[in-house]
Structure 1
Amino acid sequence: MRLHTGWMTGAIAAVILNGAAFADVTVSQSNDPTAAIGGALTSLLGAEKQALAALPEQRLTELAVGPEIETKTTTAKARGKDAAPAVIRYDDAWLAQLPEPSGDAEWECLRTAIYFESRGETLRGQFAVAEVILNRVDSPDYPKSICAVVQQGGSGGCQFSYSCDGRADAMRDPEATWRAGRIARVMMDGAPRALTMGATHFHTRAVRPGWSNRFPQTASIGAHLFYRQP
């Protein structure tokens, strides 16, 4: 009887001790910061998943790739024209893949300026000249059209020398004309201006105009140095 009573007492003690040990482990886990963080993250992720599931498809797309920004490119798309590429490859093979260019008087003025100001330059140099012209159009300090920018006069001459050098503006080099037309089209349709850091001026290395000492230089491409008017 004593043995039985002793066994029962031992069993009860073991249960109590095991319970206490289990209680210790439970308290220890509840105080574990990683366990608390894990639980909070699980709750947050669950709430986020429910919120995303309730969003319309267009909003989900905007969250993934960003909203569509109204630019010259999107304006061109709205007009039914091909969108300008997000990345430019500066080689003739890439230009040849583009659709046959055409345009109005503005396009004609830009391709003519590219031809006469930079046809002897590399493709990067020709794109850079196009950037300067378009940067001026966007600047409040210059006329608001391409033709007005390239034909603008100034003290002692023209902003772009070819427009008042007294020579006929006949583009006699078929290859350079082809190239200038494609560059003009892709830049007018909103391709990125990634070469000149917002330049509004350029000159050849053979001259040193007075403004080159006042304006910060932004790029050096081929025979031209580029500057941005403050």
Structure 2
Amino acid sequence: MSTIMSWLARVSLCVALATPAVVAAPATADTKSPKTSDLQCLSEALYFEARGEGHKGQQAVAEVILNRVDHPKFPKSVCGVVNQKGQFTYKKSRIREQGAFNRAQKIAKAALQGAPRNLTNGATYFHTGGVKPSWSRKFERTTRIGSHTFYRSDRRLASN
């Protein structure tokens, strides 16, 4: 009987010592976890707008969307920015490349969790090389990454 009691005492001690770590785990979990809707909207935007770009190109598009969220001229949520009429050219359709979507989702999650926004110099607009929107002549060009050119809307260029 004493062998069983000794074994139970050791098991109980192990369980007691291990339990606080298990209970404490949620408290140490990432507190900056993005809202599910923001993550979905940003992931879809990156997938449909920039899935052909590299990691840096997708990060830059995520920056533009988040810069817009922070700008007083645009909606205050990721989904509000992404779904704003006339702003993004993609039409939601079926996600056909799950691997590309998973990559976009990882980039979106990092961006929403506060990854540095230092690729576009505060850009709030972008376009692909295949188009030349009229607004591109009015705003300051900040950079070109992959097939996208990025612009800031807070510094208007002089029109002579």
2:125 corresponding residue in structure 1: 201
Letter in 2 for 1:181: Q
Which protein has the bigger helix share? 1
Residue-by-residue CA offset, 1:15-74 (whole Å, 9 max, x unaligned): xxxxxxxxxxxxxxxxxxxxxxxxxxxxxxxxxxxxxxxxxxxxxxxxxxxxxxxxxxxx
2:52 matches 1:124 = no
> Does the CA contact (< 8 Å) of 2:34 and 2:112 recur in 1?
no
Letter in 2 for 1:161: T
Residue-by-residue CA offset, 1:192-211 (whole Å, 9 max, x unaligned): 01100000000111111111
SS at 2:103 equivalent:
helix
What is the CA–CA distance in structure 2 between the aligned matches of 1:103 and 1:216, rounded to whole Å? Answer: 32
What is the CA–CA distance in structure 1 between the aligned matches of 2:81 and 2:34, rounded to whole Å? Answer: 20
Which protein has the bigger strand share? 2
1:81 corresponding residue in structure 2: 30
Runs of 4+ in 1 over 2 A off after TM superposition: none
Structure 2 residues without counterparts, runs of 5 or longer: 1-26, 155-160
Per-residue deviation at 1:80?
3.8
Equivalent residue for 2:71, pick from 120, 139, 143 = 139
What is the CA–CA distance in structure 2 between the aligned matches of 1:219 and 1:199, rounded to whole Å? Answer: 9
What is the CA–CA distance in structure 2 between the aligned matches of 1:102 and 1:143, rounded to whole Å? Answer: 17
SS at 1:161 equivalent:
coil
Identity of aligned residues (%): 50
> Does the CA contact (< 8 Å) of 1:103 and 1:185 recur in 2?
no
What is the CA–CA distance in structure 1 between the aligned matches of 2:65 and 2:73, rounded to whole Å? Answer: 12
Give the RMSD, CA atoms, in angstroms. Answer: 2.0
2:38 matches 1:114 = no
Letter in 2 for 1:198: G
> Does the CA contact (< 8 Å) of 2:69 and 2:77 recur in 1?
yes
Q: TM-score, normalised by structure 1?
A: 0.53
1:98 corresponding residue in structure 2: none
Q: TM-score, normalised by structure 2?
A: 0.75
What is the CA–CA distance in structure 1 between the aligned matches of 2:79 and 2:44, rounded to whole Å? Answer: 10
Q: Which has the higher contact order (CA 8 A, sep 6+)?
A: 2
Per-residue deviation at 1:103?
4.8
Structure 1 residues without counterparts, runs of 5 or longer: 1-77, 84-100
What is the CA–CA distance in structure 2 between the aligned matches of 1:79 and 1:111, rounded to whole Å? Answer: 26
Task: Assess, with a 3 A threshold, how the Cα gap between structure 1 residues 79 and 218 changes in structure 2: closer, same or farther.
Answer: farther
2:94 matches 1:162 = no
1:32 corresponding residue in structure 2: none
Letter in 1 for 2:50: S
